[in-house]
Structure 1
């Protein structure tokens, strides 16, 4: 074989080897790139999974974080505080309602106790007191610790729930007392000029205002038609008695009440009991009335009662129209049938034709069916507009 052919053959072999090497390198690079891409994908998926797991952990951490728990606890505490306030208000209303029953007219007599000394309650002229007291709703109690056997005192029993919650005593002593004396006993003190000093001493011992009750004064001064030995032995005259009462009122600030029968004495004690029981309620009402600029409670002539549900408002509106000058019951009925309330009439009079429509309201002349009716008239309608829409309270309606 010639040298030129050998050289050519060697070159071909070298070329084949180079191609094979290039192919092997290409395959190697391809496999390495696939491996690299696979590892990259694996790394990316791993990082994604880690990211997702970290985000889930963050969510879980955020859901159960101390801040959110603190907010929930604050809201729960607010709800409990609101619930506690509502319960306290409810209890306060119940206590106020129960306390008002003690002083409310009609209920206050159930809590009153009449304290009488056993020596006085055994007297014959006190025989009607238990019956009259039971009829009035009060109770009679025996009090042997009174400083004088002729005294009658009052006390108000406070329920145990109120005394515990408000810190009140279960027994509230009243600042009023009665001092019962027979006319013969009073006569001795009047003649000796000791009545005022004696009553003042009793008042100071009882530490309350006192009222002297004289039993049998009329029988003491009663005279018969014939003169006897005993008829001229009266120690006290009517003039002496009147002067003693005046001195007692001025010097000891003690008034005097005369009774003649046991029934009158029992009724008097019950009347005093009712007055003492209702005194706090009346004093509170008077204090409330004095805060107003004018007094309306005493003017109760022809009043219309309106309850909490609004029943009676139509009758009140009808009466308001009926008492106006040149008005009548038929006029008020016609106006109230057309306008159900003062606000409805006021809004109607604000329109341009409000006076005209009010003047055209028909008014029946009588209760007879098919009778002719008359109009309300422009004059009355104009006065109604002035009354309801005037801005000046001093304007004269003519």
Structure 2
């Protein structure tokens, strides 16, 4: 510090130090105060009652509540109802759905016994999702618009209110992943819970193919049987007809002989031959009639079987096409539920209320236990 130049502050500080002095009765007052204090000074210290076990108890309860929150049995299923095989039933919109509910993974079906040599995949996909939002009505409208306009899909049913809603829809399978990303952008990943169930329809495909193969083989056999029936019928009819023609020729010859014969004995013999030929002709004609009747019944029966087989084959072809169409599309349902501000906070800070309460109680107990003691002066 320069001794020739001082600031006003330095001058005032120096003056204040010079003016400090004890009062005239300072020593007397000090002696009186010390005389009034008891000799056992520690007994005058009043400490608050300490409960160290409160801090440990509340801390333990907070840790237990936090641990229980993450146990496997603490969550509820993503879908409250499911078939025994794990396939979801069609459910109505879910209300009062907690944000802590986690998704349900259906149990896999037993092995279908399909050999590994058939590696084809006909994947049927079902999509289920829950969106937690504070604007359910608006999101229902936007989802329907996205399905129809952006992904060339179809809305099968929907419902909306201020606090809940749902949309059931179908979108092409080749656009499904893009649809999922758009839903994540629309709702936010924290507010969207998805469950995708995929099943290979190869067993159904193989069943349809085997049935079609059997039907086609049956159709071939029936048509071959009908052709054989026609050929056999023609041969039998030709044989019977040739016999009838021969009989008629013999009858014509007998009539000529009868016309030129005058001997009674010969005429009697010729008439007997004529009678036999007429009887034989009637038998052959009856045989021909029976053959035609049997042929007609068999032919009609084969035609009915062939027609039924063609109808069944057409039905299998339609089932096959329906299976292909099912694989080419994704059927889904999105549920929307209203979410409170507190639940939004819990999404970002996944700590349960019990942990917060017990933790706060432990902190308060700690500060009460460790606060400074007070010195109580006697009256």
Q: TM-score, normalised by structure 2?
A: 0.26
Q: TM-score, normalised by structure 1?
A: 0.25
